[in-house]
């Protein structure tokens, strides 16, 4: 199921060979694809954080879920305990790959249909609402709208105020 999901993310309209652009191929027993036209073997994990991993994808996906479910992103020690890894280093290496992928995501500007809003986040008193709440930070958020999934990449930035010039600067920086 995990490999099927990666296939779908890589080729949402069906398999397409990156070498010859052929669409005729099949999945081999080792999980890679075989292109009928150029006889090339292609992996859905190539070029991802899962490339050449010996850890099963189900473990990777479970670790990703634990990382995103944790309020602070989780720690290697917690992941090591929850997943029952043989060593702390395995958990640390996984989190390192996840965080590297998150931190170095492609920073091209957003395009197409983009939804933009500004909101207040944080603060010591969650029930206090509005711009006057102590400890809250004003942020601008832009999210690509991609049917049928719903959304794509997003950009979030702390802004000093919600004035038109500030929001215009955010838009020009992050959206085509």
Angstrom distance (rounded) from CA 31 to CA 42: 9
- pLDDT (average), residues 4-30: 87
Q: What is the pLDDT of residues 79-136, one digit of tens each?
A: 999 999 999 999 999 999 988 877 655 578 888 899 999 988 876 665 666 665 667 8
The pTM of the whole model exceeds 0.85: no
Residue 18 DSSP code: T
With bands split at pLDDT 50, 70 and 90, how would you rate the model's confidence at 77? very high
Distances from the Cα of 78 to the Cα of 59, 67, 75, 91, 101, angstroms:
15, 10, 5, 9, 20
pLDDT at position 78, please?
92
Q: Are 95 and 160 in contact (CB under 8 A)?
A: no
Look up residue 8 and give its two tokens: 């779908």
- pLDDT (average), residues 135-150: 83
Angstrom distance (rounded) from CA 76 to CA 90: 8
> Strand 25-27 vs strand 33-35: parallel, antiparallel, or unpaired?
antiparallel
């Amino acid at each position: 199921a995990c490999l099927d999901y990666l296939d779908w993310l890589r080729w949402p309209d069906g398999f397409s060979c990156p070498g010859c652009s052929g669409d005729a191929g099949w999945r081999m027993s080792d999980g890679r694809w075989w292109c009928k036209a150029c006889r090339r073997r292609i992996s859905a994990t190539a070029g991802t954080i899962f490339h050449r991993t010996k850890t099963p994808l189900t473990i990777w996906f479970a670790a990703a879920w634990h990382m995103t479910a944790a309020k602070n992103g989780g720690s290697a020690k917690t992941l090591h305990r929850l997943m029952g890894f043989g060593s702390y280093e395995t958990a640390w290496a996984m989190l390192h790959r996840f965080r590297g992928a998150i931190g170095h995501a492609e920073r091209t500007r957003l395009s197409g249909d983009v939804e933009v809003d500004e909101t207040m986040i944080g603060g010591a008193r969650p029930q206090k609402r509005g711009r006057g709440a102590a400890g809250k930070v004003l942020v601008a958020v832009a999210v690509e709208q991609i049917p049928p999934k719903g959304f794509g990449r997003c950009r979030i930035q702390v802004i000093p105020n919600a004035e038109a010039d500030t929001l215009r600067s955010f838009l020009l920086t992050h959206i085509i």
